[in-house]
Each structure stands twice: as C-alpha cells, then as structure tokens.
Structure 1
Amino acid sequence: MEYINAALLGVIEGITEFLPISSTGHLIIAEQWLGRRSDMFNIVIQAGAIIAVTIIYWRRLMDLLLGWREPKNRLYAAKLIVAFLITAVLGIIVKKLGFELPENATPVAWALIIGGFWMIFAEWAAAKKPPYTSITWFVAILVGIAQVVAGVFPGTSRSGATIFIAMLAGTGSRVAATEFAFLVGIPTMYAASGYELVRTIRDGSAANEDWTSLAIAFVVSTVVAFVAVKWLLSYIQSNRFTAFAIYRIIFGVLLLGLAAMNYIPQDGDAVPAGAAATELRPVIGQ
C-alpha cells in the first residue's frame, strides 16, 4: 500500500503542478487519506514534474542557448533571466520579512476561488486584445512578481498566476503566455527544489527516507507531468482556460465545506508536511 500511495501522490503532483489548478490544494486533501509526507518526498515528486517540462521544452531551451547570437533569442533569454531574478530577489526579501500564509484548507480554498474568477476575467479581457505573441519587458517584470505572489498565497497556482498576468499585460496569445510562464518556471523551480534539498540534507532528515517509495513517486510524477503538460499545450491551441477556472471555484468551495466539517486541517491546525515543497514555497522560506 505504501508504494501505491506514493504512486498516487506522484500522479496528483504530475497533474496539478503545471496545470493552473494549484498542487497545494490537491495535496492537502490527498494526504488526509494517503498519509503525510516528508519535505524530501515532496522535493522529489516536484523535481519529477520540473524534469518533464524541461524535456518538453528542451529544443526551445537549446535554441536559446546555442542561438544566443541571434538578437531575437538574446532578447527573449534576457527577459527570462530578468523574470527569474525578480522572483529570486523578491523571494529573499519576503523570506527575510517572514511573510507567509498557512498552507491549510481555508486560505488555500479562498485562493482557488478568487483565482478562478481572476482567470475568467483575464480570459475575457485578453479576448479584447490583439493576439500578440511577443513578450515585452513589462510582461517579464510582472511574471517575475507573479511567481512570488503565488508563493506567498498558497493555492494561487504559479502557472495560473504567471500565464494570466502575461495575457493581461499585453501577450494576448495563450500559447505565447504559457510558453514564457513555463520557461521561466524551469530555473525558478530548480532553484526552489535545490534550496530545499540542501536544507533537508543538512538537517539530517533525509537519512530515514524510503528510497523505493521516492523512486516510484519520482518516475510517476515525471511521466504524468509530461503527459499533462503535452495535453495542456495542445488543448490551449483552440480552447480557453475557462474549464480550469470553473474547476478551481468548485474545488475551492469543496475545500471550504470539508474544512467546516473538520475533515481537513483548518486555520491554526497542523499543516500537512506534504504541502511544504509546492509552488515555490522553498524560494520564500519555510
């Protein structure tokens, strides 16, 4: 059963990490039945999702790296770097200030609901704009800020926040906004996971891990994330994000209901360990 539970958590992480529906909210519920997990476990399954996206975009990444002499590639890469640096600097500032919200049901549920309505509004507003595919400096700056906001407010969804701020700021194309959001998410999430991994190894908590469970969860998360992201990239070619927005609202209401009935942790209750390494939490501190 332990290996099955590990695989199920890998499936949940793989599906929810890059879809704009928040991995934190889903892990909060899943761990009530599948058991709480260590920080190391969550680092591993998140790493699987990051690797999957890296594989999907490896051609684009190689084009940016090897084709840096082309002005278009240099400019795009510079905007990715600026967005990442803004996230890193603001993340450190937020960590020093000690500002973070609890990762339990009520705040996550409200973030899901508010984010759902935000997505509907963003789609409506973006539809009125020309379908520009260019990423401006203004978009890059806002995407960097949005990643930090997603980390401060669990349940916001990093991918959702970055995609829709890009669309509202002038990138009317869902495809172009999603690509930039995912590309800037790759170094951001590698940095976040690396930070948390070093911290976990230093405090010695990695010594008692079940490495077979970790391996199963990692492989499952990688495969599922690969399929989920490939499907999403195909889906948004001809569909809006409205279905995800409606799902977020329904799921958020469900979370509020479960919290009210004390089926899952509420404000002030113990935070599930499994939520600790999701959505940039390592970047802005524990």
Structure 2
Amino acid sequence: MNYIEVIILAIIEGFTEYLPVSSTGHMIIASSFMKIANDDFTKLFTIVIQLGAILAVLALYWKQFFQSVDFYVKLFIAFIPAVFFGLLFNNTIDGLLESPLVVAISLILGGVLLLKVDDWFKSNEEFDAENPTAHSEISYLTALKIGFFQCLAMIPGTSRSGATIVGGMTQKLNRKTAAEFSFFLAVPTMFGATAKKLYDYFGDGLVLSGSQINYLIIGNIIAFIVAIIAIKSFIDYLSKKGFKIFGYYRIILGIALLFIHYFIYPLSII
C-alpha cells in the first residue's frame, strides 16, 4: 500500500460509510482494482479507518450522546445481534469479504429494494393527527429489531446504514429518525469490529511498521473529514428526496462489475 492508495480508500470510506451504498463493498472493489485487496494490512486498514467515521458521528451529534442512559441502553440492545451473529459467522464473513462478485450481486439486489422503499413507507413521512402510527420515538423492541436488520450487512455489498435505515422504517420511523439512529448504532458496531480486527491481526503475530502506522493515522483523519461532509449532505438529501438515486447507483455499479468480471477480466481475489 502507498499514500495514494491510502487517500483513495479513506475518501471512499468517509463518503460511503453512512450512505446506503455499502462502504465495505466499495473498498473491496477499489482495493481489488488496485490489486492490494488480499494483503493483510489492507484488510486491517479498511476496518480501522472506520474509527475516523465514528468520530464524525460523535462530532456532529455529541449532544445526543449525553442525553440519557436510556439512549445507551437502546444502542446496546440494537448492538447485541451483531455481536452474536458476527462471532458465530466470523470465518464465513471473512471469506465473503474477499469476493467482489458477492458485492456486485448484493449491490444490485439492494438497489432494487431501495427503488421501492420510499413508496412502501411513504406514510412514515406524514406524521399528523390522521396518521398516528408514524413516529420518531424508538422503543427497546424497535431497537432490537433494527439490530437484527443490521446483521444483513454482514454480507458485503448490502450496506450497514441501508439495512438499519430500512429496518427502522419498517418500524414506522421516518427517514430522518431511522438514519440518525443508524449513525448512532454505527459507533459501537464499528468500534467493536475495529477492536476485533486489531485483536486478530496482532494475535496472528503480525506487527505494524512505522509507515503503516502513518497510513492508519492519515486514513482516519481523511475518513473523519469526508464522513462529516457526507453525513450532513445525506441527512438533508434523504429527508427531501428519499432513496431512489442510491438504488439506481447500486444497480448500475453492480451491473458494471459483473460486466467487467465476465467480459474484461475476473475480479475475484480469493
């Protein structure tokens, strides 16, 4: 890995982490084209720079993290399914992380879903006396259900934010509330994933060189800055326009990847 690759991957992470387009999928694609995807440090790097994206949420929503103990209880409840299934299917997930084809198929299927979401949950945005079921409050049960939806993102290309936002909308949450809870849930989820990856990396007897430490620092700084911009822009756009543009983007990208794989050169790096 070199500094140019670091910058590219960090920008991709910061920009896509909170959009329903799959940051992991995009980094698998980018690192595959750069022919560094099967490198141990690359796999570590793409996880650890999520810390920068986490700090972006804390910087933008710091007041919410001081509002009540109940807030943390809901995050913990929503986080439990990811811990259980993540540990249960750890090896399977690692294998899928090395398959751009899985990413391509997941992008297309998820894109088709996003084209329908706005119509399916249109009533969620119309909260008034005539529509008392739409709301912006999250119960413990709702938090748990969103946590199960988050587990779908263990399939690369699915999108953690997309899965949790749609999960929230199935519970009558409006788009803005569902998206913001998705951002909050990303903090313990990505912190846990980062800690697990670092533990495994050093547990395998691998060490970080001075340049690799610099790469991680630079990557996190870039991811932090880009994620702040992406979050603020996404919330505004999502509240007004919905998901369709992300659905079309996912479908186009997925089809392009399949075309490249079958007609230009194989993308699989397993």
Look up the match of 1:132: 135
2:219, 2:81 → 1: CA distance? 31
2:100, 2:264 → 1: CA distance? 10
1:258, 1:228 → 2: CA distance? 28
Match of 1:43 among 47, 51, 55: 47
Look up the match of 1:201: 202
Look up the match of 1:123: 118
Look up the match of 1:12: 12
Superposed CA deviations along residues 149-196 of structure 1, whole A, max 9, x for unmatched, are 211x1110000000011102221x101101111111211111111111
Superposed, 1:7-156 pairs within 5 Å as: 7-36=7-36, 38=41, 39-64=43-68, 68=69, 74=70, 76-95=71-90, 98-100=91-93, 102-103=96-97, 104-129=99-124, 130=131, 131-151=134-154, 153-156=155-158
**Equivalent residues of 1:13, 1:46 under 8 A apart:** yes
1:46, 1:6 → 2: CA distance? 13
SS of 1:144's partner is: helix
2:188, 2:165 → 1: CA distance? 16
Q: Residues 117 and 183 (structure 1 numbering): CA distance in 2 closer, same or farther, change over 3 Å?
A: same
Count, aligned residues: 255
Using the TM superposition, give the Cα deviation of residue 264 of structure 1 relative to its aligned residue in structure 2, in angstroms.
Answer: 4.7
1:175, 1:85 → 2: CA distance? 23
1:155, 1:21 → 2: CA distance? 7
SS of 2:215's partner is: helix
1:246, 1:53 → 2: CA distance? 26
Superposed CA deviations along residues 22-60 of structure 1, whole A, max 9, x for unmatched, are 112222331244341513322332221122122222111
Look up the match of 1:223: 225
2:48, 2:73 → 1: CA distance? 29
Identity over aligned pairs, percent: 34
2:35, 2:61 → 1: CA distance? 33
Superposed, 1:149-188 pairs within 5 Å as: 149-151=152-154, 153-171=155-173, 173-188=174-189
1:242, 1:84 → 2: CA distance? 28
Look up the match of 2:243: 241
Q: Residues 228 and 249 (structure 1 numbering): CA distance in 2 closer, same or farther, change over 3 Å?
A: same
Where in structure 2 are there 5+ consecutive unaligned residues? Answer: 125-130
TM-score (norm 2): 0.86
Q: Residues 93 and 3 (structure 1 numbering): CA distance in 2 closer, same or farther, change over 3 Å?
A: closer
1:231, 1:155 → 2: CA distance? 22
**Equivalent residues of 2:117, 2:243 under 8 A apart:** no
Which letter does structure 2 place at the counterpart of 1:112? L
Alignment RMSD, CA only? Answer: 2.1
Where in structure 1 are there 5+ consecutive unaligned residues? Answer: 69-73, 271-286
Which letter does structure 2 place at the counterpart of 1:24? T
Is 1:189 the counterpart of 2:183? The answer is no
**Equivalent residues of 1:90, 1:145 under 8 A apart:** no
Using the TM superposition, give the Cα deviation of residue 10 of structure 1 relative to its aligned residue in structure 2, in angstroms.
Answer: 0.7
1:137, 1:262 → 2: CA distance? 49
Which letter does structure 1 place at the counterpart of 2:106? A
Q: Residues 119 and 140 (structure 1 numbering): CA distance in 2 closer, same or farther, change over 3 Å?
A: same
Which letter does structure 2 place at the counterpart of 1:261? F
1:168, 1:106 → 2: CA distance? 29
Is 1:214 the counterpart of 2:220? The answer is no
SS of 1:58's partner is: coil
